[in-house]
Chains A and B, each alone.
Chain A
Amino acid sequence: DGGITQSPKYLFRKEGQNVTLSCEQNLNHDAMYWYRQDPGQGLRLIYYSQIVNDFQKGDIAEGYSVSREKKESFPLTVTSAQKNPTAFYLCASTRGLAGRSETQYFGPGTRLTVL
């Protein structure tokens, strides 16, 4: 079955540590996205990538970094510079960026808790 996988489902981190969240898709989609979700809030875009070896900052990129070395993978690193990292992180993908009806497909999410 095609889809997006995120691991781990739950992640705990000590303050001051970097942590990397995994996102893999087998949909052969070109574009991938990382969102952050906080309680009672909508989703906010952290980073997105249109093609391999290219990515752009979203609305809240500070304290985060990404890489896109392979089409199917888009890992997110939450660095110690992120002041309030406890949140639910969602990865998504689309076939491409063009077109008005592009549907974003979401992974199951990773819940990060900083202790």
Chain B
Amino acid sequence: GDSVTQMEGPVTLSEEAFLTINCTYTATGYPSLFWYVQYPGEGLQLLLKATKADDKGSNKGFEATYRKETTSFHLEKGSVQVSDSAVYFCALLSGAGSYQLTFGKGTKLSVIP
């Protein structure tokens, strides 16, 4: 079955540091890939997505590139802010007509001033 593996957290960074959160996946066919963010006490918000190989999703300074050859979708940001502190979830949606997102376990990021 489909699965998503994220790097274990928590991750603690100083403000303006570079962020990478690793995500690899196992899926049949050609999935769409997503990063969602969850701020404390809230629901999930879509951060970015990519629907085919070599696509790059980007939003709010975050980027992730869909790498089919390495089955990865790592999240990066060049300079994190305190306001980026949240839990980040990698997820996939398998194939056309699919309905069920498969989530990773989430990576908690804390950014300190």
* A46–chain B nearest beta-carbon distance, Å: 11
| Distance between Cα atoms of A98 and B42 in the complex (Å) | 27
Interface of A is mostly: loop
Whether A103 lies near B43 (C-beta < 8 A) is no
Contacts beyond the supplied A98-B97, A102-B93, A106-B45: 11 A-B pairs with Cβ under 8 Å: A41-B105, A43-B44, A43-B101, A48-B100, A50-B99, A58-B100, A90-B43, A92-B43, A99-B96, A102-B32, A104-B44
Whether A108 lies near B43 (C-beta < 8 A) is yes
Interface size range of chain A in the complex: 20 to 34
Count, chain B residues at interface, CB 8 A: 27
Whether B100 lies near A43 (C-beta < 8 A) is no
Against B, the Cβ 8 Å flags (1 = close, 0 = not) of A91-105 are: 010100111111111
Against A, the Cβ 8 Å flags (1 = close, 0 = not) of B81-113 are: 000000001000101111111011110000000
Chain A residues contacting B105 (CB-CB under 8 Å) are: 40-42
* B4–chain A nearest beta-carbon distance, Å: 7
Whether B99 lies near A48 (C-beta < 8 A) is yes
Chain A: CB-nearest residue to B94 = A100
Chain A residues proximal to chain B, CB less than 8 Å: 4, 6, 31, 40-43, 45, 48, 50, 58, 90, 92, 94, 97-109
Contact pick for A101, options B4, B32, B99, CB 8 Å: B32
Chain B: CB-nearest residue to A56 = B99
Chain B residues contacting A105 (CB-CB under 8 Å) are: 46
Whether B51 lies near A100 (C-beta < 8 A) is yes
Please tell me if B49 contacts chain A, counting CB pairs below 8 Å.
Answer: yes
| Distance between Cα atoms of A90 and B30 in the complex (Å) | 27
| Distance between Cα atoms of A17 and B9 in the complex (Å) | 36
Chain A: CB-nearest residue to B101 = A104
Chain A residues contacting B106 (CB-CB under 8 Å) are: 40-42
Contact pick for B96, options A4, A90, A98, CB 8 Å: A98
Chain A residues contacting B36 (CB-CB under 8 Å) are: 106
Chain A residues contacting B45 (CB-CB under 8 Å) are: 106
Whether A101 lies near B49 (C-beta < 8 A) is yes
